[in-house]
Amino acid sequence: MQAPFMQSPSKNKEASPASSPPTSPTPLRSGFVALVGRPNVGKSTLLNSILGEHLSIVSPKPQTTRNRILGVKNLPGAQLALVDTPGLHLTSIKGRTALNRFMVDEAQQAVEGVDAVLLVVNMHVPEGKATDEVTPSLSSADEQIATQILGLGKPLVVAINKTDIVPDKRMLLPMIDSLAKKLPGAPIVPTAAIKGDGVERLLAELIALLPEGDALFSEDVLTDRPERFLVSELIREQVFLATQKEIPYAVAVTIDSWEERIADHGKRRGERIGVQIDATIHVEKPGQKKILVGEGGQMIRQIGTLARAQIAELLGCGVHLAMFVRVDEDWSQTPAGLRKMGYESEARR
């Protein structure tokens, strides 16, 4: 098992310096919170906004998030262990690929052990309508998920996300009313994760639901995922953003080689100053490889440039990234294919 990714000291400004006054007598509240909801409602954007870090990848395409991802948020008197999940699908999973089943399992298992649930919903905008033409309401899929979550009997907060697309916030009132009827007692918080709106109130509501207890993670832990996982995700994010149709869903990224350069002299002696990373983007069909490589390699170069910049930001050092595209027929269809790409359930990791 590789080391989890820690917050860099410069980013961890909230960690109390040695000279700070003794900690207040307020007891700490801590616990696990699962972010659940339909695909594409903004769960990962919300997690990143809460953490102030680009931890979980985001794209306009549904099913961007494939695994559970833990992000730890420390606040005065509280520690939230937030678990981002792939979207919950309520329709039958028969006939879906092994990857789909893995994603549904990840989302469902994430909810099982948590202290509280953050349900994220959006206002329903029927196809072909503009946001100012409709009265915000819940989609039937969100309604069903709300019912399912209620059945778990977990403490719950609801975020109505993407409120920035609602022309007048008063329009949300009927939607808030119907949610309050459906989920009695659950605080309902309008948010615009993309701008950070509503995040503070959301955190206050969540903290109020957590039990008193010791911190679950030391203050410098940001996630339980190793750097290599986060790097492969940043590459996959750029593929999702750059490609259309079925390509994103056929893509998996593996890290084949990782070599670090450590400074042996000077002020940065002993520090990591560079990483050479070799990564493979796997697709399922030769036609997909052709599209991903692009005319004269143009597409893969563009993806590489954008991913490299993101990776350098994450790792805080120079990055050399070499990428290969490979066809692995139908890897998403079989358990063996999934394992090869690193999609293994928690119990097996």
Ligand X SMILES: Nc1nc2c(ncn2[C@@H]2O[C@H](COP(=O)(O)OP(=O)(O)O)[C@@H](O)[C@H]2O)c(=O)[nH]1
Which one of Mg ion, ligand X, none is in contact with 82 (Cβ closer than 5 to 8 A by kind)? Answer: none
Is residue 238 within the footprint of ligand X (CB under 6 A)?
no
Structure-token pair, residue 4: 């989890």
- 49 or 65: CB nearest Mg ion: 65
- 41 or 186: CB nearest ligand X: 41
- Select the span of 158-166, 179-187, 217-225, 256-264 touching ligand X (CB under 6 A): 158-166
CA distance from start to end of the chain: 8
Please select the residue that binds ligand X; options are 31, 32, 34, 64, rule is CB under 6 A.
Answer: 64
| Phi, psi angle pair for 37, to nearest 5° | 155, 180
Taking the complex as a whole, the smallest distance from the CB of residue 3 to ligand X amounts, in Å, to 26
- 36 or 293: CB nearest ligand X: 36
C-alpha span between 293 and 338 (Å, rounded): 23
Which one of ligand X, Mg ion, none is in contact with 165 (Cβ closer than 5 to 8 A by kind)? Answer: ligand X
Contact string 67-86 vs ligand X (x = CB under 6 A):
--------------------
Q: What one-letter code names the amino acid at 192? A: A
CB 202 within 8 A of CB 189: yes
Taking the complex as a whole, the smallest distance from the CB of residue 46 to Mg ion amounts, in Å, to 9
Is residue 282 within the footprint of ligand X (CB under 6 A)?
no
The total number of residues written for the chain in this structure: 349
- 47 or 299: CB nearest ligand X: 47
At 98 the three-state DSSP class reads helix
CB 280 within 8 A of CB 232: no
Task: Using alpha carbons, list the distances in angstroms from residue 91 to 112, 137, 140, 151, 292.
Answer: 20, 21, 12, 17, 31
In the complex, the residues that contact ligand X under the rule CB under 6 A are 39-45, 58-60, 64-65, 87, 161-162, 164-165, 192-194
